[in-house]
Structure 1
């Protein structure tokens, strides 16, 4: 018998349905409240944040690179300018496949593998994805055409016209002006990220580096509205950049050319200074190099050739070259002897061709092995007599000799705006104890008196020491900038002038230097032959390798790069100096015979007019007495 069908409980089912409806309603209310709360949080609580993010997605601030300041010589000749260049740039934010696109560029333009590595290096240094990064400079017309045809395959890559540095005079001013180059990783970490946004180059050496803040200028900005693809729709705000300041150098392009011609193909340095102001008129270091190679990135092959060259064209001999000064410092040693009272103008020393310390067998040779007999101060300077200065140095002692020579800037940086300048070395007892852990020996003082031994100076320091002789102790730091944006440079740390007990001592030494050039037995009389003005000069021949006791220098048995260096310093006109010149010729051997004519040619180029006559402004204000024959 079948079981009876239960009767439905409608009231129970109604209660169940109502419960489910209530639960669903509560769930809907909860979800709605959550959505409303989230909308409130996003649109009210975090309104500022999200509106800023939204605005940044729509509006970008693009940097406008300032135009780099120009560099001129003292007469307005352009030495460093900016020229347009078509370059390949990439904006990472707008690319779809950055690696693939760069590989395509290398393939399309047939670039070497090292350029592909440079692309990655440039991108690694870039900090902002929306700022264009320059990948390749100096695109040819053919390369531009290839990129234009394939533009649809390379989103984010563009060909842009940009200004790049250019040096019209090429290698002639490479060691003074320097050059700009691409910003490297180390520099990028220290640079002002605001000022250098969009800037690809920075001063690396010379004036370009020292005056980088002035030459760079201040970055400008452009607020632009972009679409989803990153294309600029309109410019919202524009702030012009402030161009870099122009710099007028004290260098004279014509004198620079004359100095280079006088030096010829020899390795060496020439520096000319206006003693009245400290302005550097010419600065030559040979061999040189073309700074334009570095502006947009030098190839590894080209850089290796420059770096590994035996002639070292990248080496600035004027500022970095450290050489034994030889006899060129004898005028300064003479000042030390006169001012300290160790000698006077009439003090005489007998020269048999050598000098010996008391109770010592070692002989310190005079360059004139037969000797000059009895010599006083005038004759000692005129003949560059080593024996006289051996004796003078010994009487002075190392402490007084060090202190006097240091007053002339020997062994320290003397320039105002030349970063690469080496300090050189002016040895002392304390220096030797600290560096060699040895006492100072009397024989080391003796050879220091003729500019040999531990002493090392740069050609610039030699020129400055000679400038102090010409100026009678008045210090003017050598500098390359004549004006920066119309204003002369300021020496924030001036050197103290040299005050002698008797100022006549300056004239005594100057007279001896004039005899070098104009007396019948002067060591550089040939260099002054026919001069229309009086020259005060001093030759120097400094050993590169030591010669054993009892042996003589034989050039035929000495390797060319082991031969003596030739040096010469001088100023003119002697009675009212207008130019100081220092010359160093590596392995030139004879200072008076080889370096002296170079000094003369540079002085002629500055003091004489095109017809070969002394310029009126350099004429002597008074008749100069003739130098007596000795």
Structure 2
């Protein structure tokens, strides 16, 4: 009898310990995850008690705001579709998503709350949350949105010096002001308007060649040596064709990148070896979680492993010019361009500039910091030189701007089947002292020069003429 009671007491003790660990885990370790989860009923109830703070662009433009009329609150989005699905939504009926969900703890005033906010929260008093000021410039966002209109794709602009996100557009989007009534229709709409295409994964095509360049440069290849492109080549029994079977003739590294010569990069990518290539992609962040406020899919080289320990010759050849199983997001390709622009250093991207309370006191300010050193300064300069040649006398020329030297690379990526190629364009400018880096993807748009370059050109021109990204 006594032994049985002892076992029961021991069982209760163990259960209590596990329960205590569970409470500590969820209420302390994972408390932020619970608070930020849009399915958290507590957040929905807080919408009724707390006036959610506003979201503003870097120039003070209102992007999201709560209006109160006759004691009725309504979340309004003055800029409509141009910021969706990035901005997301916050409704009692459908919860929250996008930045509205991710920054919910700031907007409710429950993250790093001031003593006054803690007191109001303790006594369940009506109160106002904090305002979030973004690094986005709505002028640039609108230019990118208008350029992508009626196309599917994404456009991203960064300040390569700081990692500030200046524009982040995904098309198609939706009007968050009429979300509740449009929900059923939007859920079935072609093009997935709720999906942020800037964070989704696509084959990069020839835009990948700027990364392969790092492996080629490190393998000791003389970039001045000539290679004869005849329109196709065979590597380990695999035919590597040029686009439209075009023969580029004798090319060196610069002209191969400028003319987007597949056979050059496949040949010298294989000659460099899989370890040089895999080290190069790791240096640019493949297989890693991008340190950003919002979740971005990790880029990958193969379906089985994001960055495998080795690659077969055939897969290495295809990966070298952005085909095979390579997948990357437009957001990540903007970081790649920014890293080349910034002498090989990729700055950690961020979209929040600061958080302020209702008295305009700064509660939080984002500091710029490096994420990765993808290239040496010398390597970055060599790749930049080839990207300049691509604009001045190559496939990237449609993105050129009179009076401004742009450095760029096009891509036409085969998605599989009979679908048209995805059109890519990555660029930065002014090449001698870059202030903006961009990546544009047009799904099934054809060639990067025709479909994506004009959008990138307008973004760069707008950013430099209106001094987007300059100190505020």
What TM-score results when the alignment is normalised by the length of structure 1?
0.61
Q: Is residue 402 of structure 2 the alignment partner of residue 523 of structure 1?
A: no
Whether the 8 Å CA contact 1:407–1:498 is kept in 2: the answer is yes
Q: Is residue 216 of structure 2 the alignment partner of residue 341 of structure 1?
A: no
For residue 361 of structure 1, report the CA deviation from its aligned partner. 4.0
Q: Give the Cα separation in 2 of the matches to 1:367 and 1:293.
A: 44
Q: Is residue 63 of structure 2 the alignment partner of residue 84 of structure 1?
A: no
Q: Give the Cα separation in 1 of the matches to 2:372 and 2:422.
A: 32
Number of the residue aligned with 1:214: 106
Q: Give the Cα separation in 2 of the matches to 1:428 and 1:238.
A: 52
Q: Give the Cα separation in 1 of the matches to 2:450 and 2:341.
A: 23
Q: Is residue 428 of structure 2 the alignment partner of residue 571 of structure 1?
A: yes
For residue 260 of structure 1, report the CA deviation from its aligned partner. 1.5
Number of the residue aligned with 1:134: none
| 1:507 aligned to which of 376, 381, 386 | 381
Whether the 8 Å CA contact 2:405–2:431 is kept in 1: the answer is yes
Number of the residue aligned with 2:298: 423
Gaps of 5+ in 2: 1-44, 111-116, 357-361
Q: Is residue 197 of structure 2 the alignment partner of residue 317 of structure 1?
A: yes
Q: Is residue 174 of structure 2 the alignment partner of residue 303 of structure 1?
A: no
Gaps of 5+ in 1: 1-61, 87-160, 185-201, 223-236, 547-557, 619-630
Q: Give the Cα separation in 1 of the matches to 2:305 and 2:144.
A: 39
Q: Give the Cα separation in 2 of the matches to 1:461 and 1:430.
A: 18
Whether the 8 Å CA contact 1:355–1:364 is kept in 2: the answer is yes
Distance 1:217 1:412, change over 3 A: same
Whether the 8 Å CA contact 1:541–1:564 is kept in 2: the answer is yes
Q: Give the Cα separation in 2 of the matches to 1:403 and 1:567.
A: 24
Whether the 8 Å CA contact 1:67–1:217 is kept in 2: the answer is no
Q: Give the Cα separation in 1 of the matches to 2:429 and 2:444.
A: 26
For residue 431 of structure 1, report the CA deviation from its aligned partner. 5.9
Q: Which moved more, 1:281-290 or 1:390-399?
A: 390-399
The C-alpha deviation readout for 1:379-433, integer Å capped at 9, x for no partner, is: 11111111110012211233321221121123433242113x2123233986698
Q: Is residue 343 of structure 2 the alignment partner of residue 459 of structure 1?
A: no
Number of the residue aligned with 2:143: 258
Number of the residue aligned with 1:589: 446
Secondary structure at the counterpart of residue 245 of structure 2:
coil
Distance 1:428 1:343, change over 3 A: farther
Whether the 8 Å CA contact 1:287–1:313 is kept in 2: the answer is yes
Distance 1:429 1:351, change over 3 A: farther
Secondary structure at the counterpart of residue 207 of structure 1:
helix
What TM-score results when the alignment is normalised by the length of structure 2?
0.80
For residue 510 of structure 1, report the CA deviation from its aligned partner. 0.4
The C-alpha deviation readout for 1:245-282, integer Å capped at 9, x for no partner, is: 11111111111111112223111111111111111111
Whether the 8 Å CA contact 1:178–1:205 is kept in 2: the answer is yes
Which aligned pairs between 1:358-373 and structure 2 lie closer than 5 A? 360-367=236-243, 369-373=245-249
Q: Give the Cα separation in 1 of the matches to 2:69 and 2:90.
A: 15
Q: Give the Cα separation in 2 of the matches to 1:430 and 1:165.
A: 42
Q: Is residue 347 of structure 2 the alignment partner of residue 476 of structure 1?
A: yes
Which aligned pairs between 1:219-230 and structure 2 lie closer than 5 A? none
Whether the 8 Å CA contact 1:535–1:572 is kept in 2: the answer is yes
Secondary structure at the counterpart of residue 356 of structure 1:
strand
For residue 331 of structure 1, report the CA deviation from its aligned partner. 1.3
Number of the residue aligned with 1:231: none
Q: Give the Cα separation in 1 of the matches to 2:64 and 2:219.
A: 51
What is the Cα-based RMSD across aligned positions, in Å? 2.9
Secondary structure at the counterpart of residue 604 of structure 1:
helix
Q: Give the Cα separation in 1 of the matches to 2:342 and 2:440.
A: 19
Number of the residue aligned with 2:23: none
For residue 312 of structure 1, report the CA deviation from its aligned partner. 1.5
For residue 471 of structure 1, report the CA deviation from its aligned partner. 0.6
Which aligned pairs between 1:398-437 and structure 2 lie closer than 5 A? 398-419=274-295, 421-427=296-302
Distance 1:430 1:239, change over 3 A: closer
Secondary structure at the counterpart of residue 495 of structure 1:
strand
Work out which structure has the larger RCO, using CA pairs closer than 8 Å and 6 or more positions apart in sequence: 2
Whether the 8 Å CA contact 1:345–1:508 is kept in 2: the answer is no
| 1:604 aligned to which of 456, 461, 471 | 461
Paired residues, what number? 412
Q: Give the Cα separation in 2 of the matches to 1:261 and 1:578.
A: 22
For residue 292 of structure 1, report the CA deviation from its aligned partner. 2.6
For residue 589 of structure 1, report the CA deviation from its aligned partner. 0.5
For residue 289 of structure 1, report the CA deviation from its aligned partner. 0.4
Distance 1:370 1:84, change over 3 A: closer
Q: Give the Cα separation in 2 of the matches to 1:600 and 1:174.
A: 22
Q: Give the Cα separation in 1 of the matches to 2:460 and 2:166.
A: 11
Whose radius of gyration is greater, 1 or 2? 1
